[in-house]
Structure 1
């Protein structure tokens, strides 16, 4: 079956219900225009990002703020490459398999499974949040199973675009409130400005934090999703992708800077706790704000875990030679299988190692940032040069982004290993 016919028969429902209510058509158009950016932003701004940002602020104050604008520039460059592949309808996974006739399928499947580490950590946090929220539950492992069941239900209902938008709206509203907290805090703006100046230190925890921030903000599964989305979006104008990407990336990093700055001022140095990032909200707004924070953390975990696996939903069928589109049978089966695998994997890690949900939320993005991200970046550079006549100055920008991430990976891999060994 051709890509075009597959798209016509299996592309996800874009319900017309919103069009019959006041303002519904406006909402529908906004979701069509920015829905992909919402998906990417929700994938990035999961619970893992919240805990990484809060932990970084609490333990390193403002000294790592410089990573966020760097992440924005790198992310824009990489999304521009994957957008070009989307316009050409040339999925990145197809390119990797074609460019590596021996071992290409293994590479794609391998990094697909690595992306599931995000889902493992997100379902662990979701289970912990659910155990905290539900009176009498008090069992993280049961919470993980319930959270995974919710993720599977969302995928099987085939209305993820609308559910994602609703979850993202609440999550962004809750975490945007950190920006309002800044109004009432005494911000040392000189220290904030100093934190925007790039600085590398040899300390193990510092380097791990750098790669964790890059790994959780420059979210490589999004590039596989975008390069495969043309049959669903049917956009042939690259500026539509650029507008969508810029809105989503800017939103997540602005909110992320709010969380990091507030945490730097209000949280004390030490081990991050489940409720830690929500304590500034509770201190100012009352305990109910902590409940709202935990609900947002739960929802963010569900949406990020599920949305992240959408990348693998494209990648694994494509690596096996199948044309797949968002929401078709091969896509859903892959995502559901990886949700189940992620939940199953999270249970023994929590039960048998020194990792807790928060440690997992911080370490898993760092692992992906150190390994999966550089592989994806250089695959993107190769793919966009095959299918496009790339200008020399564009290649310089793309290669600069790639070498920045590769250098970050090489510099921090030992730090990451030692951090993991210390937790174990």
Structure 2
């Protein structure tokens, strides 16, 4: 019995150590790999084959640079929100932060819409997306209010990552055209509206700007004083999500046909290889990914809004919870309205909402990070050149894709 206790204790200690070392990366991975990522990656693979694979390594480099900046702010105990509010004149800084927090709810709108659709598909007799959205958002509110969400997010992320990592196993049995994959890693831009929309959607869903506000505010919670601890954590999370993203895109390119993405579309390769039961597993994973990302994304707003109003806040306190719960409710109501009054479907929302964030909020966040890290840290000239290149890529990307995104959105509305 004593040896059994020792073994259990050893496992518990190992798990606790892993969560302490990589828990923030798990949180960020869960935020990134939500409904938007799944459907954007599958849709991109189906409609553009391997042509947009080059966006994923670009997203990795951008993510690493931005997380490095937000990690420095975390070590310095200087939240990004505080810098933006102090830098911009009058109430403009507060207004900008509140507007960006509201924009982050676009992800929650799409994620809760997908969660509702998945529940309607999975639960016999439900067959009502609106009721599914109500159930999913209600669970989100309950977990935030009970302050147990952060305890289960690691388990949710592990399950979701395990299911979607199975796409990597499918690669073994598929005839992958290596030359086409290699060609897809060469950057290229065209004037095609769908192509440009897919580029900004991929960047918007993989370079997840709320994570930078979360990380810059996590210093008191993590109690890390060495930026290398954050770098190790970030690199593990980013590499995991983008590797799985490449699996999904490549499998979709080989197995799916061109056309509009459906709710079950990304899971069809799993079903064909493993049987129809795999489709249920996929939708359960999509449901959990949507739920996890919808709620976790709003953690950024949970810091941003109180900070913009001049309050010091920590993860899970009353102001944090009130902000997150308020935005969950608004997200559910907005999802109801959009489904009832526009041509947007849950899958279309999952594709377009990250693109809007990538077009507007991501470049603003990057500029804020560069200014903040230069004010509060010792940044070398080489580092500033690298940061400036990241900002330039995103600003040029926004300028090139704005018209195509607007055209796509207008067509769907």
TM-score, normalised relative to structure 1: 0.95
- The residue that corresponds to 2:311 in the other structure is 322
1:112 matched to 2:101: yes
1:231 matched to 2:231: no
Q: In the aligned structure 2, how far is the partner of 1:296 from the partner of 1:106?
A: 36
Matches within 5 A, 1:9-408: 21=9, 23-102=11-90, 103-408=92-397
The structural deviation recorded for 1:389 is 1.5
The structural deviation recorded for 1:153 is 1.6
The structural deviation recorded for 1:22 is 5.2
The structural deviation recorded for 1:391 is 0.1
Pick closer, same or farther for the CA change 1:391–1:22 going to 2, 3 Å. Answer: closer
Q: In the aligned structure 2, how far is the partner of 1:20 from the partner of 1:123?
A: 37
The answer for unaligned runs of 5 or more in structure 1 is 1-18
TM-score, normalised relative to structure 2: 0.97
CA offsets 1:126-150 (integer angstroms, 9 cap, x no match): 0000000100000000000000011
The structural deviation recorded for 1:159 is 2.3
Report if the CA contact (8 A) 1:35-1:161 is conserved. Answer: no
Q: In the aligned structure 2, how far is the partner of 1:416 from the partner of 1:243?
A: 35
Give 4+ residue runs of structure 1 displaced > 6 Å after superposition: none
Report if the CA contact (8 A) 1:133-1:291 is conserved. Answer: yes
CA offsets 1:134-192 (integer angstroms, 9 cap, x no match): 00000000000000011112212212222110000100000000000000000000000
1:422 matched to 2:400: no
CA offsets 1:226-276 (integer angstroms, 9 cap, x no match): 000011000000000000000000000000000000000000000000000
- The residue that corresponds to 2:3 in the other structure is none
Correspondence for 1:410 among 388, 392, 399: 399
CA offsets 1:102-142 (integer angstroms, 9 cap, x no match): 20000000011000000000000000000001000000000
SS state of the match for residue 23, structure 1? helix
The total of aligned residue pairs comes to 407
The structural deviation recorded for 1:21 is 4.7
